[in-house]
Amino acid sequence: MTRVVSIYLADLPTDRIRRADPGIPPEQAIAVIARSGSKRWVAAADAAARKAGVHVGMPAAKAQALFRGLMLVDADPAMDAAALERITLWALTLYSPIVAVDGIDGIVMDTEGADHLQGGELSMVTKIANQFLAKKLTPRVAIADTWGAAHACARAISRETVIVPSGETVRAVEKLPISLLRLPGKVVSDLRTLGFQTIGELANTPRAPLTLRFGPEIGRRLDQMFGRVSEPIDPIRTAELIEVSRAFAEPIGAAETIDKYVGRLVVQLIEELQRRGLGVRRADLIVEKVDGVRQAIRAGTVKPVRDVAWLTKLFRDRTEKIEPGFGIEKLTLVAVMAEPLEERQKSSSLVEEEVKDVTPLIDIYGNRGQRVYRVAPVASDVPERAVQRIRPAADP
């Protein structure tokens, strides 16, 4: 079953400012100021500023008078959007093949088949939150059955992580405010005027009068949230990512046909990598079905490779997990992580002692979700602490 993770970066503007200037003291309160003509107001405030009483929408002059030590920075939506895109690309390389920007302050990812690689959902969302915190970003992470439910829960609950058990979407969102339904602001305002406050109230109201007055958008958002209508995530892509694809005039579904075209895509990808002097470390196979649903398979290697047979084997070992449904209309193979790779001449075993390469074995275990590491010495006065675990497990 599909599971969706939403990462809400509530303090993205102020976090971006702190990341850009490491010299700002942690206790320094920051507020981001937006302007329209002569009007200036608080567009974002960090935790220290909020603790002092500064809030979004407050006039800038009032905020400055309320807290004299407040640092005011002009809003820069373009810089915020660029930072969010970079963070999303970083998340793409770490967590899931299907990751996208979610509005102006969030990230959404389809984690189907990825949670077992992280030790389960609880371990996965905790790891995501900790890794974002290590990057000096303030996240709220939620996982649910649908994009809409995960999006709403990440923004409604103040905890760092939220896990909505499978099948319990209704219970999780029915008491949440209608503002979290991703509707236009004018529609939300009009619904509140009519007396609607929660998603549950709206969901239990006859659909026809709402559609007649507001159009189909309310029904569509409710259906997406409760999983009645699919909401595919369009993965983020940039010009730097190397990808090859094959669209089919007639949908395919047979396992041997899928394997055949995966093999051809691997050949094309390796040819492109060779032209650029690169080797692939992580590649994603994106499967687009005729019903709009996407499925993805990820294969990773310890070292950058350009071995067609090996990369094909890594994918074909997992293509049995593809569920073609009514048919597949497009396959895309993307190198999400590529590194420089130089061709090396192998030495004869008559000249040098042959060293057994264990990286293929590590690749197989790693792609099955096993955590493989190696032990390396580290300086310590305590003997039992004189070693440490290092990943990747192979020497570079």
Whether the per-residue pLDDT at 116 is higher than 90: the answer is: no
| Region of poorest pLDDT, from 123-132, 192-201, 367-376, 382-391 | 367-376
Q: What is the pTM of this model?
A: 0.84
332-381 tens-digit pLDDT:
999 998 989 866 655 555 555 555 555 655 555 455 555 556 666 777 77
**What is the predicted pLDDT for the residue at 117?**
58
Closest among 275, 257, 272 to 311, alpha carbons compared: 272
140-165 tens-digit pLDDT:
999 999 999 999 999 998 888 999 99
**What is the predicted pLDDT for the residue at 1?**
65
**What is the predicted pLDDT for the residue at 349?**
55
Cis peptide bond upstream of 392, omega within 30: yes
Whether the per-residue pLDDT at 291 is higher than 70: the answer is: yes
Over the range 357-383, which residues count as b (16 or more CB within 10 Å of their CB) and which as e?
eebeebbeebbeeeebeeeeeeeeeee
29-68 tens-digit pLDDT:
999 999 999 999 999 999 999 999 999 999 999 999 988 8
Q: Which of 180-194, 235-249, 380-394 has the highest mean pLDDT?
A: 180-194
**What is the predicted pLDDT for the residue at 221?**
97
Q: What is the mean pLDDT of residues 269-289?
A: 93
CA distance 20 to 5: 27
Q: Return the percent helix, strand and coil in the chain, to nearest 5.
A: 40, 25, 35
Let me know: does 291 contact 205? Beta carbons within 8 Å.
no
* 67 or 265, greater pLDDT: 265
Residues of the chain with pLDDT > 90, as a percent, come to 65
CA distance 336 to 173: 34
Give the H or E element holding residue 31. Answer: strand 30-36
The CB density around residue 154, as the number of other CB atoms within 10 Å, is 29
**What is the predicted pLDDT for the residue at 396?**
39
Question: How many CA within 13 A on the CB side of residue 281?
Answer: 15
* 301 or 18, greater pLDDT: 18
* 378 or 327, greater pLDDT: 327
| pLDDT band of 320, cuts 50, 70, 90 | confident
Question: What mean pLDDT value characterizes the chain?
Answer: 88
**What is the predicted pLDDT for the residue at 254?**
93
Assigned fold of 1-236 = Alpha-Beta Plaits (3.30.70)
68-86 tens-digit pLDDT:
889 999 999 999 999 999 9
Over the range 270-304, which residues count as b (16 or more CB within 10 Å of their CB) and which as e?
beebeeeebbbbbbbbbbbbeeebbbbbbbbbbbb
Please, which residues have CB within 8 angstroms of residue 88's CB and are 6 or more apart in sequence? 99, 100, 101, 107, 236
Q: Where in the chain is the domain with CATH 3.30.70.270?
A: 1-236
Closest among 271, 293, 280 to 241, alpha carbons compared: 280
168-220 tens-digit pLDDT:
999 999 999 999 999 999 999 999 999 999 999 999 999 999 999 999 999 99
CATH 3.30.1490.100 matches 242-340? yes
Q: Where in the chain is the domain with CATH 3.30.1490.100?
A: 242-340
